[in-house]
Structure 1
Amino acid sequence: MKTPTTPAPDKVTIKRALLSVSDKSGLVELGQALAGWGVELVSTGGTAKALREAGLEVKDVSDITGFPEMMDGRVKTLHPMVHGGLLSVRDDPEHAKAMTDHGIGAIDLVVVNLYPFAQTVAKGAGRDEIIENIDIGGPSMVRSAAKNHGYVTIATDPADYAEIIASGGSTSLETRKRFAAKAFAATATYDAMISSWFAFGDQQQLFPEALSVPLRKAEGLRYGENPHQQAALYVPAGPAARGIAQATQIQGKELSYNNYNDADAALELVSEFRDGPPTVVIVKHANPCGVATADTLIEAYEAALACDSVSAFGGIIAVNRPLDGKTAEAISGIFTEVVAAPDADDDAKAVFARKKNLRLLLTGELPDPARGGLMMKTIAGGMLVQSRDNGRIGEADLKVVTKRAPTDQELKDCLFAWTVAKHVKSNAIVYAKGGATAGVGAGQMNRLESARIAAWKAKDAAGKAGWAEPRTIGSAVASDAFFPFADGLLAAVEAGATAVIQPGGSIRDAEVIAAADEAGLAMVFTNMRHFRH
């Protein structure tokens, strides 16, 4: 294959256009502009019909190829008379001769958008209908036109029609390059959606040999975790479960990379309680610093805030109920970056309107904590991919390993602390009492230090609140992974905990159980850990 030696021209006048679209937005307006410049319009099926109904003269593709559309429209544009007109290098003598010898006319503009594959999947269509909505001819024309962008303009997005109309019928090389890049991204995304459906939807493969992740840019962000880093938000190009990326921002400054990251952590945790009582989660740097459930949202907020009011400053709050004005007033008492809620009443919106920088996000239905899917993390030279941590533990899954079994209240506190610990960076220790966190130890290099830090924070909180004793007294403590030594458990005993929930599985389990028995603790094993890095 030889490389063209003649540079592509800057300006190319559109003399002949091929239009074949499933999304007919803006089609007639574009067709009218093209016709006004004397451009010959070539089209197919429903696109040709729409143009004719607008009073435009249109030539059918079959008039060019000499073949009718056949096989239910599967074969109509896959022909040398079409692709020769798209791929020919106009300044190449051999290409020009081939066009003359075979009567191939040049095509200067291709306007194509593809069969609605993602929409067909999203509506729950059967397999046969999904397969029929895999476009073949469309992507072929798009790729041919985009490859030959030195001479051909390719438009795959109705949003770009206005620029073509404004060109006056003559496009620049810069425009053609930009449209070509967008066109290849469109076909790549389209193929990735098809590949993903075959892998995950049709073949039920969790980890296919080649992983395609179709994403589209939702918005650019001011910067990444730090000002010297660049960042953007991408969302699935096809169907997606609602999450923080799909939330509606009611007010406040634009969200930053860190805002999204922390708000996602808060929403994921509060979603664990989506079917439970009113719950409030306060997150700082992707770790919960206060979580509580109560009879009302404002009571839950006050209990969550009391766990660590210092870290809550400048934090992210998520709730599992529509926000009311009274709770919004309480939240407004300290500086808060983001509040995420399923909904908010007019009183709550009015309260937050006074805080112009506070971002209020309405999420609608909360994510399902039991949903599947993949989690991805880049590493140098590759990508780590795993299934979501959607493991959940109920009372029936617990094994009492100590002489004393937990009381009903201790059992409730154990399960509450365990749910929170799942969302705390490892090594994670969480003390809880009465449906509220008492202290949280996160991200330490050893479990003993996490236990001590959580207990210290509980003491500090008690001092600030004027309580006689910290809430760790009589609390349950959860550890995201087993206690490798008894020292971490003994730190919890020193803090006043009376019940422990942990995965178990250490070679020193017997030593840890013996220490718990000696201290009069009740301890249950889950046989499931929740490392979070």
Structure 2
Amino acid sequence: MKRALISVSDKTGVVEFAKQISELGFEIISTGGTAKAIMDAGIKVIGISEITGFPECLDGRVKTLHPNIHAGLLAIRSNPEHMKQLKELNVDTIDLVVVNLYPFKQTILKDNVELEEAIENIDIGGPTMIRAAAKNYQDVAVIVDPKDYDKVIEELKAKGEVSKETKFYLASKVFEHTASYDTLIANYLRKQRGAEDFPETLSLTFEKVQDMRYGENPHQKAAFYKEIGKNTGCLSSAIQLHGKELSFNNINDTNGALELLKEFDEPTVVACKHANPCGVGSADNIYDAYMSAYKADPVSIFGGIVVANREIDERTAEEMNKIFIEIIVAPSYTEKALEILKQKKNLRILQLDHISVKQPKGSYDLKKVAGGLLVQEVDNVLLPEEELKVVTKRQPTEKEMEDLLFAWKVVKYAKSNGIAIAKDKQSLGIGPGQVNRIWACKQAIEHCIEQIGEEALKGAALASDAFFPFSDCVEAAAKAGITAIIQPGGSVRDQESIDACDQYGIAMIFTGMRHFRH
């Protein structure tokens, strides 16, 4: 008679599975709550202690850690010496293992969980059993995912055994499962001890949210994974209320828009295209903020992504519906606003609670390169703790200072080399991703002239994500009528830019902090 060992924390479908394999002639060994659930269904179960000849002990910490279990799992059936030893030791083989592990993930995701509780939910016997079974996959089928119950039952009914191909598939899932499980434990303990250095070996684990139709381009396969944890304010925790599923580019671009939005406390709307901001507006209410963002670049917002940090009302929804927008993300929508927006069949509407919450300290920013991985802390600092340094003869006015800080927030999220121009809580021109800074500067100025008008630049503020290598950007700004500049400083030619500002009466601030974004 074939034997199955069943011991699961996630009992989804396990009783029905046990019933079916019992009817197929399997003898069932089980432990604790799993044994009780199966017995309560009228299915015969052999307790683990009957197999080991040793009682469960240490509050259940030791149950299956015994040679009578592991010899039965690891014996190679085609090896005569192995089978001879089993007979001499009076150990029977185990042919099917159904085990999923203590709920460590669910435990650490609870509010205010104590370290001791987390430790108690680190499984020892479970991983040992499933790894042993997976190592001996040619003879033992091992299930860690209830989704695989039906596949195994179908093969047992059709062939009387689980195929070698399926056993290999199940074995590979075991090591994916234990790798993720151990990574969760390692990273949790690392956080508990407050480690801030980068580990010698880096293990990360993510859960798949969805397979995608394709990646950046139709010939590339893709999937979306989310971090395991409390992803407050992240796109992975958003609820989609309407529209087609998000694409690879949708997710990447929306993430960039959300990161910029989190820099603002007042009602703000960010429009984004290809992961670059194209229009940003703040106001006393979300309608005016949207109109400001829209008017900043009515061309680029077409087919773009719009994110807002306040509830979308009917009036705002009506304006949004006048153009083609790919995605709208907001913390909430009025009933009437949703009704209006849902008139667009393909418009993706997402609700994201706590939309303004930033990533916590210690979060990683990852960039995959061929043969390696670049890892850094997330850039979640806007300005240095030290006071900003006015380096020109003229001090910025209070109004200019407000515009400078607005532009600084925007340029932080533009691809480098990046320039952002702003006035009256509105972006006027953004020059992202240029190979030299003067091109980015000219692009931002020309953009404003074309989309809004030359007059808007008079008295505006300009921000640069990194220092000016020459004074040419100051010259271009002065010619456009810009009166205030904010930049990191640090160039060997800083004085040339300072002198040019003094010549034209421009106020300039050095932050001492750059925001490259590649």
Interval containing the TM-score (normalised by the shorter chain): over 0.9
Report which stretch shifted further, 365-374 or 428-437: 365-374
Superposition deviation, residue 205 in structure 1: 3.5
- Structure 1: how far apart are the matches of 2:233 and 2:10? 25
Superposition deviation, residue 94 in structure 1: 1.6
CA contact (8 A) 2:206 2:226 kept: yes
- Structure 1: how far apart are the matches of 2:302 and 2:236? 24
- Structure 2: how far apart are the matches of 1:85 and 1:442? 63
Question: What residue identity is the alignment partner of 1:318?
Answer: V
| Residue 217 of structure 2, aligned match among 226, 229, 234 | 226
1:25-44 equivalences under 5 Å are 25-44=12-31
Q: Does 1:79 align with 2:70?
A: no
Q: Does 1:488 align with 2:473?
A: yes
Report which stretch shifted further, 24-33 or 134-143: 24-33
Q: Does 1:244 align with 2:229?
A: no
- Structure 1: how far apart are the matches of 2:322 and 2:223? 31
Matched residue, 1:318: 307
- Structure 2: how far apart are the matches of 1:299 and 1:385? 39
Percent identical among aligned pairs is: 50
Q: Give the secondary structure class of the aligned counterpart of 1:64.
A: helix
1:248-327 equivalences under 5 Å are 248-273=239-264, 276-327=265-316
Q: Give the secondary structure class of the aligned counterpart of 1:184.
A: helix
Ranges in structure 2 where 5+ consecutive residues have no aligned partner: none
Q: Give the secondary structure class of the aligned counterpart of 1:459.
A: helix
| Residue 159 of structure 1, aligned match among 124, 139, 147 | 147
What per-residue deviation string (whole Å, max 9, x for no partner) do you get for residues 110-132 of structure 1?
Answer: 11111111222222322222222
CA contact (8 A) 2:309 2:356 kept: no
| Residue 105 of structure 1, aligned match among 92, 116, 121 | 92
Matched residue, 2:123: 135
Superposition deviation, residue 395 in structure 1: 9.8
Superposition deviation, residue 238 in structure 1: 4.5
- Structure 2: how far apart are the matches of 1:382 and 1:367? 32
CA contact (8 A) 1:193 1:238 kept: no
Superposition deviation, residue 260 in structure 1: 0.6
- Structure 2: how far apart are the matches of 1:437 and 1:494? 19
CA contact (8 A) 1:214 1:238 kept: no
Question: What residue identity is the alignment partner of 1:407?
Answer: T
- Structure 2: how far apart are the matches of 1:371 and 1:511? 39
Q: Give the secondary structure class of the aligned counterpart of 1:67.
A: coil
Q: Give the secondary structure class of the aligned counterpart of 1:74.
A: coil
- Structure 2: how far apart are the matches of 1:83 and 1:280? 60
Rate the CA distance shift 1:395–1:125 in 2: closer, same or farther, 3 A.
closer
Report which stretch shifted further, 221-230 or 231-240: 231-240
What per-residue deviation string (whole Å, max 9, x for no partner) do you get for residues 288-307 of structure 1?
Answer: 01000012212111111112
Matched residue, 2:329: 340
Q: Give the secondary structure class of the aligned counterpart of 1:143.
A: helix
Q: Does 1:515 align with 2:515?
A: no
- Structure 2: how far apart are the matches of 1:40 and 1:397? 74
Rate the CA distance shift 1:200–1:69 in 2: closer, same or farther, 3 A.
same
Q: Does 1:365 align with 2:354?
A: yes
1:376-395 equivalences under 5 Å are 376-393=366-383
- Structure 2: how far apart are the matches of 1:461 and 1:237? 43
Q: Does 1:452 align with 2:442?
A: yes
Superposition deviation, residue 35 in structure 1: 2.4
- Structure 1: how far apart are the matches of 2:431 and 2:239? 32
Report which stretch shifted further, 257-266 or 125-134: 125-134
Q: Give the secondary structure class of the aligned counterpart of 2:466.
A: coil
What per-residue deviation string (whole Å, max 9, x for no partner) do you get for residues 358-406 of structure 1?
Answer: 1111111115236220011111211100000011238973222211111
Matched residue, 1:62: 49
Question: What residue identity is the alignment partner of 1:128?
Answer: E
Superposition deviation, residue 73 in structure 1: 2.0
Question: What residue identity is the alignment partner of 2:283?
Answer: A
| Residue 200 of structure 2, aligned match among 191, 209, 221 | 209
Matched residue, 1:53: 40
Question: What residue identity is the alignment partner of 2:506?
Answer: L
Q: Does 1:416 align with 2:406?
A: yes
Matched residue, 1:501: 486
CA contact (8 A) 1:325 1:345 kept: yes
Question: What residue identity is the alignment partner of 2:21?
Answer: L
Superposition deviation, residue 136 in structure 1: 1.1
Report which stretch shifted further, 227-236 or 433-442: 227-236
Q: Give the secondary structure class of the aligned counterpart of 1:312.
A: coil
Question: What residue identity is the alignment partner of 1:295?
Answer: D
- Structure 2: how far apart are the matches of 1:299 and 1:239? 33
- Structure 2: how far apart are the matches of 1:238 and 1:297? 31
What per-residue deviation string (whole Å, max 9, x for no partner) do you get for residues 128-148 of structure 1?
Answer: 222221111111111111122
Q: Does 1:436 align with 2:432?
A: no
Scaled by the length of structure 2, the TM-score of the pair is: 0.95
CA contact (8 A) 1:498 1:520 kept: yes
What per-residue deviation string (whole Å, max 9, x for no partner) do you get for residues 26-70 of structure 1?
Answer: 222222222223321111122222222333221111111111112
Q: Give the secondary structure class of the aligned counterpart of 2:327.
A: strand
Question: What residue identity is the alignment partner of 2:486?
Answer: I
Q: Give the secondary structure class of the aligned counterpart of 2:358.
A: coil
Q: Give the secondary structure class of the aligned counterpart of 2:33.
A: helix
Question: What residue identity is the alignment partner of 1:472?
Answer: L
CA contact (8 A) 1:216 1:237 kept: yes
Q: Does 1:404 align with 2:391?
A: no
Question: What residue identity is the alignment partner of 2:461?
Answer: A
Ranges in structure 1 where 5+ consecutive residues have no aligned partner: 1-13, 464-468
Q: Give the secondary structure class of the aligned counterpart of 2:127.
A: helix
Q: Does 1:425 align with 2:410?
A: no
- Structure 2: how far apart are the matches of 1:414 and 1:395? 17
Q: Does 1:126 align with 2:114?
A: yes
Report which stretch shifted further, 388-397 or 191-200: 388-397
Superposition deviation, residue 438 in structure 1: 0.7
Superposition deviation, residue 192 in structure 1: 1.1
User: What number of residue pairs does the alignment pair up?
Assistant: 513
What per-residue deviation string (whole Å, max 9, x for no partner) do you get for residues 475-526 of structure 1?
Answer: 1111111112111122111121111111112222222112111111111121
- Structure 1: how far apart are the matches of 2:191 and 2:80? 48
Question: What residue identity is the alignment partner of 2:513?
Answer: M
Matched residue, 2:185: 194
Question: What residue identity is the alignment partner of 1:485?
Answer: F
- Structure 2: how far apart are the matches of 1:388 and 1:394? 15
Question: What residue identity is the alignment partner of 1:37?
Answer: L
Superposition deviation, residue 15 in structure 1: 2.1
